[in-house]
């Protein structure tokens, strides 16, 4: 089994395959994700796919948590200054104004 994941800040990591065991949890099968590659937030909505013997776990597409993570990354980007003075754009009057 190969597990690929993301950590805090959504930075991609690649680690050597680690061994873990699947175990029974209620009517489902569960797997322990080692702390070294676990998601920082335990409330992350995940999507699980299986292709043959390969199981992939990743943040669910469009999940609110993923959007919050993306916004947090954007907030951490360096602040930039405008290239030049901002111009005011004049608009025409329309019939409904």
- Which secondary-structure segment (H or E) carries 65? helix 64-76
pTM, two decimal places: 0.46
Q: What is the pLDDT of residue 64?
A: 62
Q: What is the pLDDT of residue 62?
A: 67
Please state the domain extents for the chain.
Answer: 8-76
Q: What is the pLDDT of residue 24?
A: 95
The one-digit pLDDT tens for each residue of the chain (97 residues) are 444 444 444 455 667 788 888 999 999 999 988 888 888 777 778 889 999 999 888 888 766 666 777 888 888 888 887 777 767 777 777 777 5
- How far is 7 from 91, CA to CA, in rounded Å? 47
Q: What is the pLDDT of residue 5?
A: 47
Q: What is the pLDDT of residue 26?
A: 94
- How far is 56 from 49, CA to CA, in rounded Å? 5
Q: What is the pLDDT of residue 9?
A: 45
Q: What is the pLDDT of residue 7?
A: 40
CATH numeric code, 8-76: 2.10.260
Q: What is the pLDDT of residue 52?
A: 92
Burial class (CB in 10 A: 0-12, 13-18, 19+), 5: buried
Asked if 76 and 17 touch (Cβ cutoff 8 Å), the reply is no
Q: What is the DSSP letter of 12?
A: B
């Amino acid at each position: 089994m190969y597990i690929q994941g993301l950590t805090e800040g959504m930075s991609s990591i690649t680690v050597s395959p680690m061994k873990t065991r699947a175990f029974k949890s209620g009517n489902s099968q569960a797997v322990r994700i080692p702390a070294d590659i676990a998601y920082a937030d335990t409330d992350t909505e995940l999507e699980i796919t299986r292709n043959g013997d390969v199981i992939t776990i990743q943040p669910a597409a469009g999940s609110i948590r993923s959007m919050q993570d993306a916004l947090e990354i954007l907030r951490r980007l360096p602040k930039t200054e405008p290239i030049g003075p901002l111009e005011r754009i004049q608009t025409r009057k329309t019939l409904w104004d």
